[in-house]
Amino acid sequence: MKTIHVVAAVIEAVDEQGKEILFATQRGYGDMKGGWEFSGGKIEPGETPQEALKREIQEELDTKIKVGSLIDTLKQSKLITPEKEV
């Protein structure tokens, strides 16, 4: 089985009124179309996870970020959706 390494970010900010904002994107394709996901993507060969995260956020949100500390890592061997398991 091929292993694909990915990164994702939970981005929280505070607006001008002091209200907390959580950034997510709505998926427009595939099995999870219409669902919400955190920004991120595949780690390219030669990239560190931090570099990949900065690049993905720049591509998806047109925003530069400062990468904070790692919160957690997950290992998932299959995709589970409401309709099927892959």
pTM for this model (two decimals): 0.66
The pLDDT, as a whole number, for residue 79 is: 63
Closest CA to 10 of 72, 55, 62: 72
- Torsion on CA atoms 17, 70, 73, 37, rounded to nearest 10: 30
Tokens of 58: 């720049």
Mean pLDDT, residues 13-17: 89
Helices (H), ranges, the chain: 49-61
Contacts of 33 (CB under 8 A, 6+ apart): 27
Q: Would you place residue 16 in the very low, low, confident or very high pLDDT band (cuts 50, 70, 90)?
A: very high
Q: Please, which pLDDT band fits residue 82 given cuts at 50, 70 and 90?
A: low
Fold of 1-86: Nucleoside Triphosphate Pyrophosphohydrolase (3.90.79)
Segment 21-64, tens digit of pLDDT: 888 777 777 777 788 788 888 999 999 999 999 999 899 888 88
pLDDT value of position 52: 92
